[in-house]
Amino acid sequence: MSNPGGVILDIEKIAIIANKAKIPLIVDNTMASPYLIQPFEWGADIITHSLTKFVGGHGNSMGGIVIESGKFDWFLSGKYPSMTKPTKSYHGLIFAETFGDFGYSMKLRADSLRDLGSTLSPTNAFYFINGLETLHLRMERHCENALKVAKFLEQHKKVLWVSYAGLKNSKYHTLAKKYMSKGVGPVFTFGLKGGDEAGKKIINQVKIFSHVANVGDTRSLILHPASTTHNQLSDNQKIAAGAGPEVIRLSIGIEHHKDLIADLKYALASI
């Protein structure tokens, strides 16, 4: 699932194409979290997550994770010499041969981690493990809340459109039903009448939503990409990036949905 457009990838079909081409399918599953989608079940070979989002869940730590299925045959195509040929700096060790189904993980540890130093701090690791224990509870509430907020926005007269795969009129609704039977997550965009000015205004009016560029926090977050994260782009580039002047991105938290809806209702009334 993409951030933030609500696009759901047809993983199973892409996996068939990747498999034929003998290339590993790598899925960034950050937005769904392992609770909502398990891409290995649909043929992915490698999964990545920004733990900074749902896994941690509290916006208090930064980290990432790479998980391999162990099923990808690195030798088949001859396209991956760094996995299948001797590595000079490790006395001729061949990652895919020596470590078999965890060869890629070992390569990341021995090469990338060593060279780039991207080691998780013990404190952040502690926060992530704590966060993981409540992932299933948080995701259930996130999804429940998001659907209620999306339905509220969908019928509001100052809202042009809502892009949320949980809504029946979304073009990704069918894929959502196939891949995400437990819910489609809490991050989505909507279009506001009144463009840039209205976008900035709503950000300043909300009281419960925080104006933060992260996603996946327990707290609800709101962003007007055109005047913040995508501000440096030209108007045409903003539109092409899905960050036109009317676009607002929400990451719905685990507060009470009535408070969130009341907050948005109040902010929308100011436009």
Encoded tokens for 269: 């009334």
List the x/- string, 55-84, binding to ligand PLP by CB under 6 A. -------x-x--------------------
Question: Please, which of residues 37-56 interact with ligand PLP by CB under 6 A?
Answer: 50, 52
Q: Which is nearer to ligand PLP, 3 or 220 (CB)?
A: 3
Residue 14 within binding range of ligand PLP, rule CB under 6 A: no
Closest contact distance (angstroms) between CB of 94 and ligand PLP is 30
Residue 31 within binding range of ligand PLP, rule CB under 6 A: yes
Residue 97 within binding range of ligand PLP, rule CB under 6 A: no
Residue 3 within binding range of ligand PLP, rule CB under 6 A: yes
Stretch that binds ligand PLP, among 26-34, 156-164, 174-182, 200-208 (CB under 6 A): 26-34
Residue in 10, 12, 28, 154 binding ligand PLP, rule: CB under 6 A = 28
Q: Which is nearer to ligand PLP, 128 or 190 (CB)?
A: 128
Residue 30 within binding range of ligand PLP, rule CB under 6 A: yes
Question: Please, which of residues 103-162 interact with ligand PLP by CB under 6 A?
Answer: none
Site residues for ligand PLP per CB under 6 A: 3, 28, 30-31, 50, 52, 62, 64
